[in-house]
Amino acid sequence: MGHNLLEGKKGIIFGALDDQSMAWKVAEKAVEEGAKITLTNAPVALRMGQIQELADSLNAEVIPADATSEEDLENLLSKSMEILGGPVDFILHSIGMSVNVRKNKPYTELNYSWMEKTFDVSAISFHKVMQTAMKLNAVNEWGSILALSYIAAQRTFPDYSEMAESKALLESFARSFGYHWAVKNKVRVNTISQSPTMTTAGQGVKGFHEFFDYADKMSPLGNATADDCADYCITLFSDYTRMVTMQNLYHDGGFSSMGMNPAILDK
């Protein structure tokens, strides 16, 4: 049961693929809390996933958009404002992709053209979304922009490859763009550094299941689930966090503050 935390608010959710996606859970929670939303993903992802099922269940429209294309983003934002009746109050960027990871390229032998694609899809797209939205005045005052990150932006996780640098860039964009948007229109921009989560994308990373178990044991509260992440996103879309901006917020059961957990040694 919702608490109407987003009553009267409008938003755009990027990245829902299937019911394991964090963006899928956020979309469900946002509507449950009273928001009206549009959904978007790249055309190839729309063909692979089940986003239309989600849209039908939430009475939301799906607008295809390649987040690396400024033209597509302009169309997405313009159509969303038309459908929702004006500028939005929140946007979730839940996008990440590495061809090097998919093709099991060792970190010391990366294909640089693939790396550039990784950065464009996983991080630069975040800047493009914000720049386009600001240009179109597509976000209301005190709006909230979120992107999903990971602690590999700060620490070394060898199998995460150049996605680590992508997340570091993503977090830097939140700080830098967050300053400019706060000054211009009081819009806040943050990233959430989430626990390893059993999503379709996450499980594609080499050794993911072993690391998921390790992080779960290392974290005093255990790993935060996709549902937990959705709840946290809702609070950051709500008016209760109006003065939080330019932050990377750890949502990981305490993992980011741990050095060693005796539970690991006992095993």
Average pLDDT across the chain, whole number: 95
Residue 237 has pLDDT above 70, yes or no: yes
> Is residue 167 marked as binding?
yes
Domain ranges of the chain: 10-266
Q: Is 154 exposed, middle or buried (0-12, 13-18, 19+ CB in 10 A)?
A: middle
Q: Lowest-pLDDT range, 33-37, 119-123, 141-145, 197-201? A: 197-201
pLDDT for 229: 97
Per the CB < 8 A criterion, the answer to whether 26 and 3 are in contact is no
> Is residue 151 marked as binding?
no
Structural element, H or E, at residue 52 = helix 51-58
pLDDT for 208: 80
Output the CATH code of domain 10-266: 3.40.50.720
Residue 13: closest CA among 39, 33, 35, 34: 39
Percent of the chain surpassing pLDDT 70: 96
Q: Which residues are catalytic?
A: 150, 160
Residue 144: closest CA among 174, 120, 176, 121: 174
Give pTM, 2 decimals: 0.96
> Is residue 34 marked as binding?
no
Per-residue pLDDT tens over the stretch 134-172: 999 999 999 999 999 999 999 999 989 999 999 999 999
Per-residue pLDDT tens over the stretch 63-116: 999 999 999 999 999 999 999 999 999 999 999 999 999 999 999 999 999 999
What value, to the nearest 5°, has the Cα angle with vertex 171 and ends 101 and 250?
90
